Structure 1
């Protein structure tokens, strides 16, 4: 029994990493600036000066930690998700106006379950809705009705970034009200 306990203790100590770790190195202590008075003779004049020993400090690197951001130039081929001036629909801005417009054009099949369908689309530079697709659907027939309603949206006033007209991507949750057959 003693031998088994001894073997277990040896194995436990051999597998631990606490014994294998080196001692932590001490951090160097910075000393304050030390000065001593030095008197020198230059010709026949005594020059009194202070000889200053500077501590070892790292060099100062200004503006490396907080660089000033360069202004972003709008790329003509890029599709943005958020811009300075978002596209507007019929003079109304915001997601609620777009969701209401999709719900007005939505023709749902009978026996539709209640829930939400997530649709993604792009408003081009011309203000036309393109590439509607369902990100998270409710049911196949409801999803296709949401895509059709999204394609029927009127022309938007396009979004702007840095004064330039750009394409903007939207992802919206369209609430679906359940219908009984």
Structure 2
């Protein structure tokens, strides 16, 4: 009987020990479970940060449309002259002036020399002025294409405006070409030469018939 009581008393004491062990084991299991869950969450966060970091490093590529090439500059009458075998960087242009003071179709009364031109004075108050074939643009282009800066003028740096006069006959031909004012040094001669190359003009008209007209034309030679 005493042995049975002793066993019951021993079991009663061990029950608290077993209960404590069980609580410890259960608590340890709970702690491990929390640690495991925290580790999983931490891994997910690390992965997401790495993923975001990789995304931030991507550089967008923008393809710019090809711009059209710039338009070529308008052609100018410029030449490079070589003097005595030495290269000289001399740029110049030849302008044909036409302003209010010196009109392209400016005609003036003209008294011809009786010995060379036994005809009466050139008429004025015309109904229709003479016209270069193709118009004013064609006239300017003709002069730019054919005028050449004289080498003698280039060597001394001469420039200036040459005023030439000529008569436009009733058939449109050009006669009596002369330089009435200019710097010389070959520029006057060049202006007269090119004026003599001009094709027949459309003659001036007075009272329904073609008449002779005196024409004044300035040509400007400029060294740059």
TM-score (norm 1): 0.50
Structure index of larger Rg = 2
Bigger strand share:
1
Structure whose residues are more often helix by fraction? 2
Give the TM-score normalised by structure 2: 0.41
